[in-house]
A = this chain, B = another copy of it.
Amino acid sequence: MIIVMKPNVNNQDINKVITLVEEHGLKTHLSTGDQITIIGVVGDKSKLLKCNIELLDGVEKIVPVTETYKLANKKFNMTSSVIKVRDVEIGNNNFVIMAGPCAIENEKQIIETAHAIKKSGASILRGGAYKPRTSPYSFQGLEEEGLKYMSKAREETGLPIVCEVTSLKSVETAYKYVDMFQIGARNMQNFYLLKEIGKTNTPVLLKRGLSATIDEWLNAAEYIMSEGNSNVVLCERGIRTFETATRNTLDISAIPIIKQKSHLPIIVDPSHATGKRAYVNPLSKASVAVGADGIMVEVHPNPSVALSDGPQSLPPKEFDALCNELRPFAKLVGKIL
């Protein structure tokens, strides 16, 4: 941590800051220039939590130099994590495809989809039972009934299942059914929910918030991990920008950045990132090429009657073609698909 002092600061104010910091057991290094004076602070910053150094006389600003997340930080855990969802390993040399409908609509739809995606090469089935929708008048999901259909699809196909949870109540229900919890973009900073699933040992797919920085995202992972659950997989799904040609802007650079800053696996959701079916194929290829550990794709047996996000869903036939087209890309980057 660096404390930048105001241009014409006097010695008394400088000494006050130094004394305060050192009283809390940290070390300081003073650098005095013609135009600027800075105080380097070394030691455990959390001891200064109550000090509000920014408010002391003569202080211009505080410049942090270390990240606040520890467990998710590559600096402290150099080995890349591999997260197991039943028998499926995310991370390492695997390229994992999760697929399924945005919303579970009925038993037939989900089972039919599960068979189709398995045949094409997906290894995890996704499906929404609790749908966070912008308008209260949109379809909100089948809840527990949907989870039962999902379990049945798992029974029939052997595919592990991932479902979004949106509240403690849904966690308690879903816990009995699902193999992986999904935290949606809108709940990425629902810290209460993060802590609750942190107390389970069910793997978690943590989507990036609509306007979350990568730093905040890794801090959200830290919330889950600091409660004991380190089975976290990150999912980039587009951020909000001024561009309106796509629903969101896929931040493809997030993948190499996460690979540099964290040991956690990261996958991409091209369906939500763009909101348009036509872009799912090229963005999936880009995701493989850039080094992602997998993708999550919306597939619906009949997109034109889907209850949610039909326009971005692929029909099984297009999904099958996508999987076939991705395989050589995966091979090129040394991954197994």
Contacts and interface: CB of A to CB of B under 8 A. Distances in A.
A250 interface: yes
Contacts of A310: 52, 54-55
A50 B307 contact: yes
Contact of A211 (B191, B210, B277, B305): B210
Contacts of A4: 65
A149 interface: no
Taken together, the copies of this chain in the complex come to 4
Nearest to A246: B253
A252 B279 CA distance: 10
Interface stretch (A120-128, A151-159, A167-175): A167-175
A305 B38 CA distance: 22
A256 B273 contact: no
Interface string A120-140: 000000000010111111110
Given A32-B42, A42-B36, A249 B239 contact: yes
Contacts of A191: 132-133, 136, 166, 186
B257 A214 contact: no
The main secondary structure of chain A at its interface with chain B is: mixed
Contact of A35 (B34, B49, B66, B216): B66
Nearest to A226: B136
Interface string A39-74: 011110010011110111000000101101100000
A35 to B, nearest CB: 6
A134 B219 contact: yes
Contacts of A289: 282, 285-286, 288-290, 329
A187 interface: yes
Contact of A213 (B34, B223, B243, B305): B243
A135 B219 contact: yes
Interface residues of A, number: 106
Contacts of A186: 189-191
A40 B50 contact: no
Given A42-B31, A43-B34, A283-B290, A135 B211 contact: no
Given A252-B286, A290-B286, A192 B166 contact: yes
Top 5 A-B pairs ranked by shortest CB distance? A211-B211, A33-B42, A52-B310, A31-B40, A289-B289
30 contacts: A33-B43, A34-B42, A35-B66, A38-B40, A49-B139, A51-B304, A63-B63, A132-B189, A134-B219, A168-B168, A168-B169, A169-B192, A170-B192, A186-B190, A186-B191, A213-B242, A213-B243, A213-B245, A214-B245, A239-B249, A240-B242, A241-B241, A241-B249, A253-B273, A253-B283, A256-B283, A282-B289, A288-B289, A289-B329, A332-B332
Interface of A: 2, 4, 7, 27, 29-36, 38, 40-43, 46, 49-52, 54-56, 63, 65-66, 68-69, 75, 130, 132-139, 166-170, 186-187, 189-193, 195, 210-211, 213-216, 219, 222-223, 226, 239-246, 249-257, 260, 273-274, 277-279, 282-283, 285-291, 303-307, 310-311, 328-329, 332-333
